[in-house]
Each structure stands twice: as structure tokens, then as C-alpha cells.
Amino acid sequence: MYKASPKRKVILEKSKSVREKETRLNSNFFAKHLKRIYPIALQRSTSSSFSLSSISLSLSQNSTDSFATDSTSTLEQKISLALGLISSPRRRETYVPKSIPQQQELQLSQDLSSDEPKRCNWITKKSDEVYVMFHDQQWGVPVYDDNLLFEFLAMSGMLMDYNWTEILKRKELFREAFCEFDPNLVAKMGDKEITEIASNKSIMLQESRVRCIVDNAKCIIKVVKEFGSFNSFVWGFMDHKPIINKFKYSRNVPLRSPKAEIISKDMIKRGFRFVGPVIVHSFMQAAGLTIDHLVDCFRHEDCVSLAERPWRHI
């Protein structure tokens, strides 16, 4: 049997000591940078362990460089290649993990980067900006101003011919035509003013609709004499407290309600026109008499807070 000389033994022991030291250093270096490497180009195995061969395979499969790693590459070379990929902007932009389909990756990226608040689900990406703003700023906010209540009542009546988006786009034209919805001024409009408004192609209201708004203004004048304000009349049906609903799904939000039917019947008796239960309920939703934002909508809590203020009806 071959026996090494004492001098040879010393050399072998020193060599072994150096290799063990290098292995420890490389292991620490690898652990230090492992967290940086994994999100870019390293796949976890089913046993949740990492191997040198798996790193090499992952890097070589995803590299566009002119060289590739092989089985003889040292650990330092593999780590150097991995860090090179991390520091390369081109690599970060183009890499997509094979375990995640590209379409899902894109959707995930959009979801993470989106700062949009959660809204009622009838507000979609295709919704017009004017409708989104109406939802975010006005719809469901309790209203106590006579002119604004009259405006919402008039616009709710227009829902028989148009949707909210079409109405809101012409809101400023309506305000100009109907004197900022001041009931006192609208009630005084005669045939000449009515015909002029109806013939305005930008406003797009039939003469019967214009006359309806004028007649409702006259009814509001009578209500003000009896109740002191249109606000007091409308909120009196609610005991000056809005109905706070907690609907989770849009299919639960009704088109009409028992309270809307009560208000509708009373208004019809007083001579109001185009105030059926569906229109009245739309009016109640817009003017915050009923809060119908879905519970997971960011505006639900906001409108509830406004409704619960002690000075709400003053």
C-alpha cells in the first residue's frame, strides 16, 4: 500500500484546509445573494431546496448572452453570472418566470400598480369619466339645498329618455336653461321660454319634458309655502335620516322601494309629474335620501359619515 511521505501529508492537509475555507466562504456568499437571485431566475423545487445544478439550468435557459454555464463552471462563476443578470436592466424587463403564464403576469402587474379605489361594480373601466366623477363626488351624498334637490328631481325624470352619462354631460346646459334650477324663476317660465329650450338641439329635451320641469317648479313653490322648504318636505318622509343600506351585490339594489312609493303617491297628489316610484327612487339615491353604494365601495363609508352628522338637516 502506498504511504505518503510526511512532507506530502503536510501539503495535503494544507490543501484540504484551504478548500474547506473556500467552501465556507462560497456558501456564505451564496446564501447572502440567494434572496436577490430567486425572484429573477431561480425556481423552487418541490422539496423547497436549491441545488447548484438547478441554478445553472435556470440561468442558462433564460440567458441571452453568448456564453452558457457548464458542469465544469465554478461556484464563483455561476454566482457572478447570476449577479450579472440581476444588475442588467434588460434582463429585469424581459424576464417572465416560466411558472406564470404571460397573460397572468400582465394582469398581476396591472393589479399591483393600480391605485384605483374600490367602487360599486357598475362603475367599470369603460365608464365615462363624468359618470365616475358623479359616483365619486355626488351620488349618495345627502342633499339639503332646495335648488339642488330640484335639479336631481328633474334629472331623474330625464332617465326615462337617457342614461346618467348622457344627462350629466349636458348638466351645465340644463342649469343654464333652467336658471340654476331655482324653482322661483323656473315657475315663471312661459310658452316662449319653454319653446326656446325645447328647440335647443344641444339640450335635447322634448317640449313635454320641459313643461314637466316647469310644472314641477310650480308645485315646489306650493310645497315651500306649506312646509317652509322643499328640503323639509322631502326629508320629512325620511324623518330627516337617510336609509343606509348594506348591499353587497348590485343585483340586490332595488329599482324602487316602499319609501319611494309613499313619496311618489304624495307628490302625484300635489300635482308633480313624472314622479313614479322608479324615478323617485333614482332621485332618492342621487340626493342621498337612501345610500345604495355597495358596502365594499369606498364611497359607502363616506356617505354614511356625512349622513350621521348631527347638523345634517339644519
**pLDDT given at position 99:** 46
At 5 the pLDDT is 55
SS3 content of the chain, % helix, strand, coil (to 5): 60, 0, 35
The pLDDT value recorded for residue 34 is: 41
β-pair partners for 243: 290
**What integer pLDDT is reported at residue 50 of this predicted model?**
40
Q: What is the pLDDT of residue 115?
A: 73
Known binding residue 297? Answer is yes
Q: Would you kindly state where each structural domain of the chain is located, as residue ranges?
A: 129-308
Q: Please name which of 86, 51, 84 lies closest in space to residue 67, comparing C-alpha atoms.
A: 84
Cβ atoms of residues 271 and 260 within 8 Å: no
Confidence (pLDDT) at 116:
81
Q: What is the pLDDT of residue 262?
A: 97
How does 195-229 read in b/e, with b if 16+ C-beta sit within 10 Å? eebbeeeebebeeebbbbbbbbbbbbeebbeeeee
Residue 163 backbone zone (phi > 0: left; psi -120 to 50: alpha; other: beta): beta
CA 311 to each of CA 3, 126, 148: distance values in angstroms, whole numbers, following the listed order: 101, 38, 18
Q: What is the pLDDT of residue 132?
A: 95
> Count of residues for the chain?
314
Per-residue pLDDT at 58: 35
Predicted TM-score (pTM) of this structure: 0.63
The reply, when asked if residue 219 is annotated as ligand binding, is no
CATH class held by domain 129-308: mainly alpha
The pLDDT profile of the chain, 314 residues, written as one tens digit per residue, is 545 555 555 555 655 565 665 555 555 544 444 443 333 333 333 433 343 333 333 333 333 333 444 444 455 555 555 555 544 444 344 334 444 455 554 454 444 445 788 999 999 999 999 999 999 999 999 999 999 999 999 999 999 999 999 999 999 999 999 999 999 999 999 999 999 999 999 999 999 999 999 999 999 999 999 999 999 999 999 999 999 999 999 999 999 999 999 999 999 999 999 999 999 999 999 999 999 999 999 999 999 888 776 544 44
